[in-house]
């Protein structure tokens, strides 16, 4: 099978390495010529995935048309806030392709998920799939075992796609809840920032566990209000991804939260999607009159420049109420 990977960040690079190592023919589109040169000459993406070797079966290019032309499956791994414009620009070459979106977040301008933006641009979700789950790029590239979900509006189509893409170290499961899988992958980043802040302040494991648990409740609340299925959030793209991102030190969102709590500049090279997602989440919650205290707390710290210590104390001292899931 021939695969195109659109994106040169750590996740796009990890997928390129993984599928290349598993015998697929892969062409990776990279925006930066320096990344193409690094992959072509050094067999390594030294800018975003240093230390991981590329197999010879992966070719890098700066031409989208070259990457996509012969591909049977196209993975779209572009930062969410730039994805709709990219899809619009290359609509002609992407229109008939099977597109697997592996980006996680919500379009802040439109307050919509990428499946909703894809349907606006291409007119149908038949060829749209979303990949999400508890996956750190570096571990996937290193060949360590992992599992994730691939969703399409037609579960049979999702299963057929999984048969083609499933490998011995990357087990894929099917879902027809495209919206739920997307929202789980997007909203967990907000909770990961909150747990990073909590850990950075030294609030302990109990506080972290509480934030993860109540964070899942917030994800379910917004997801159900937007039309997703509740059971999706108990799966790999929900609680699985949430736990990994909130506790694993390879998480950019968690590392961002740690930096905020410690009063230092975050120096990561790649986009921290939770910073954008929290803005969309709070706007949606307010429109829908939903209570989202953890998301509100993260929003106040990032966008209103409120003191993290005061905001976390305020969050933990909210009025007593009955727990209802």
H or E stretch covering 236: none
Residues 113, 80: Cα–Cα separation, whole Å: 9
Residue-averaged pLDDT of the chain = 96
Asked if 298 and 193 touch (Cβ cutoff 8 Å), the reply is yes
Residues 241, 218: Cα–Cα separation, whole Å: 15
CB atoms within 10 A of CB 60: 25
Position 21 pLDDT exceeds 70: yes
Which residues are 12's β-sheet partners?
none
Residue 304 is predicted with a pLDDT of: 95
Closest CA to 27 of 46, 3, 56: 3
* Helix runs in 69-204, H state only: 83-89, 91-94, 114-122, 137-141, 155-165, 178-200
Rounded mean pLDDT, 42-55? 96
CB atoms within 10 A of CB 35: 23
CB atoms within 10 A of CB 254: 27
Which residues are 146's β-sheet partners?
170
pTM of the model: 0.96
pLDDT-based confidence at 233, cuts 50/70/90? very high
Which residue is catalytic, options 22, 104, 188, 279?
A: 188
Tally helices (H) and strands (E) across the chain.
Answer: 15, 8
Rounded mean pLDDT, 27-49? 97
pLDDT-based confidence at 158, cuts 50/70/90? very high
Signed CA dihedral, 236, 241, 243, 247: sign only = positive
Signed CA dihedral, 103, 105, 109, 115: sign only = positive
How far out from the chain centre does Cα 68 lie?
Answer: 22
Rounded mean pLDDT, 289-304? 97
Instruction: Name, in order, each residue with C-beta under 8 angstroms of 61's C-beta and a sequence gap of 6 or more.
Output: 27, 28, 29, 30, 36, 67
Span 237-282, pLDDT tens digits: 999 999 999 999 999 999 999 999 999 988 776 789 999 999 999 9
Span 131-152, pLDDT tens digits: 999 999 999 999 999 999 999 9
**Residue 306 designated active-site:** no
Residue 318 is predicted with a pLDDT of: 83
Span 64-99, pLDDT tens digits: 999 999 999 999 999 999 999 999 999 999 999 999
Span 201-214, pLDDT tens digits: 999 999 999 999 99
Position 12 pLDDT exceeds 70: yes
Residue 325 is predicted with a pLDDT of: 61
Which residues are 27's β-sheet partners?
4, 59
Position 320 pLDDT exceeds 90: no
Closest CA to 283 of 62, 95, 70, 111: 111
Closest CA to 60 of 36, 78, 41: 36
């Amino acid at each position: 099978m021939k695969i195109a990977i659109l994106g040169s960040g750590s996740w796009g690079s990890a997928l390129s390495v993984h599928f290349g190592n598993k015998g697929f023919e892969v062409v990776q589109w990279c925006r930066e010529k320096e990344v193409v040169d690094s992959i072509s000459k050094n067999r390594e993406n030294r800018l975003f995935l240093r230390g991981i070797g590329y197999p010879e079966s992966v070719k890098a290019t700066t031409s989208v048309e070259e990457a996509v032309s012969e591909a049977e499956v196209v993975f779209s791994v572009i930062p969410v806030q730039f994805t709709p414009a990219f899809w619009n620009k290359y609509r002609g070459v992407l229109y008939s392709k099977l597109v697997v979106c592996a980006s996680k977040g919500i379009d802040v301008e439109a307050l919509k998920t990428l499946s909703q933006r894809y349907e606006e641009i291409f007119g149908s979700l038949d060829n749209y799939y979303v990949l999400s789950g508890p996956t750190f790029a570096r571990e996937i590239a290193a060949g360590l075992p992992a599992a994730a979900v691939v969703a399409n509006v037609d579960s049979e189509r999702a299963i057929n796609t999984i048969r083609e893409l499933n490998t011995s170290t990357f087990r894929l499961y099917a879902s027809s809840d495209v919206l739920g899988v997307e929202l789980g992958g997007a909203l967990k980043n907000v909770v990961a920032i909150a747990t990073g802040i909590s850990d950075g302040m030294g609030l302990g494991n109990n506080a972290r566990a509480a934030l993860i648990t109540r964070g899942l409740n917030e994800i379910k609340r917004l997801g159900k209000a937007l039309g997703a299925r509740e059971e999706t959030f108990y799966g790999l793209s929900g609680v699985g991804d949430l736990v990994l991102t909130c506790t694993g030190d390879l998480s950019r969102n968690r590392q961002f939260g740690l930096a905020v709590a410690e009063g230092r500049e975050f120096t990561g090279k790649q986009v921290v999607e939770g910073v954008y997602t929290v803005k969309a989440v709070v706007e949606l919650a307010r429109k829908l009159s939903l209570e989202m205290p953890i998301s509100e707390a993260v929003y106040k710290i990032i966008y209103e420049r409120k003191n993290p210590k005061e905001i976390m104390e305020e969050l933990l001292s909210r009025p007593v109420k009955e727990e209802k899931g």
